[in-house]
Chain A
Amino acid sequence: QQQVRQSPQSLTVWEGETAILNCSYEDSTFDYFPWYHQFPGESPALLIAIRPVSNKKEDGRFTIFFNKREKKFSLHIADSQPGDSATYFCAARDSNYQLIWGSGTKLIIKP
């Protein structure tokens, strides 16, 4: 089934903590898993992505953990900053080269 489930819908963490955003999927043919962030009044922009040959991808404070067996992937934001407050979307690419999007997580970082 072509669906990507994302949780939680909203998340509030204190500055300096690690924020963890979760996604899961069912279609084993998905082959690319990006995360996008969207700041208020702006459009979504690519943040970081992973292919299923890897189980971890890091870029600074942002890390994707990927579990192919369980069909789950998560975004960890370490040492979270108020400027990280945004809506985060996970997605998965299908065999038609189209992205299937999660429903988004609104992340608020409290100073």
Chain B
Amino acid sequence: NAGVIQTPRHKVTGKGQEATLWCEPISGHSAVFWYRQTIVQGLEFLTYFRNQAPIDDSGMPKERFSAQMPNQSHSTLKIQSTQPQDSAVYLCASSLDPGKVFFGKGTRLTVV
């Protein structure tokens, strides 16, 4: 069990460019979560899938952020027209037992 796999680990984009972050949840886990973590804002919920269906995207900035889960083995978070304030560590997590969430190592996004 390799755990939750996130790629890339680090990404640098220019302001206005698009960034796509990938997540492979633990096999068999039915729930996938995306979070964003910064020193200032702490751990922020973005969106949540259960059995590939979007359940709650209340934390997603509506205009430029989107997330998909096309199959049970991966999810993507896409940020269009990246801005410096999007710089953060983006964490993907998965769970089988609701509440017991396993996090990936994160993708550190830097927008310059």
**Residues of A bordering B, CB below 8 Å:** 32, 34, 36, 42-46, 49, 89, 91, 93, 96-99, 101, 103-104
Contact = CB atoms under 8 A, between A and B. Distances in A.
Interface of B: 31, 33, 42-43, 45, 48, 50, 55-56, 91, 98-106
A32 B99 contact: yes
19 contacts: A32-B99, A34-B100, A36-B101, A43-B104, A44-B43, A44-B91, A46-B102, A49-B99, A93-B99, A96-B55, A96-B56, A97-B50, A97-B99, A98-B48, A98-B55, A99-B33, A99-B99, A99-B101, A104-B42
Given A96-B56, A98-B56, A44 B103 contact: yes
Contacts of A32: 98-99
B112 to A, nearest CB: 22
A98 to B, nearest CB: 6
Contacts of A103: 42
A45 B99 contact: no
Contacts of B104: 43
Contacts of A49: 99-100
Contact of A97 (B31, B102, B103, B106): B31
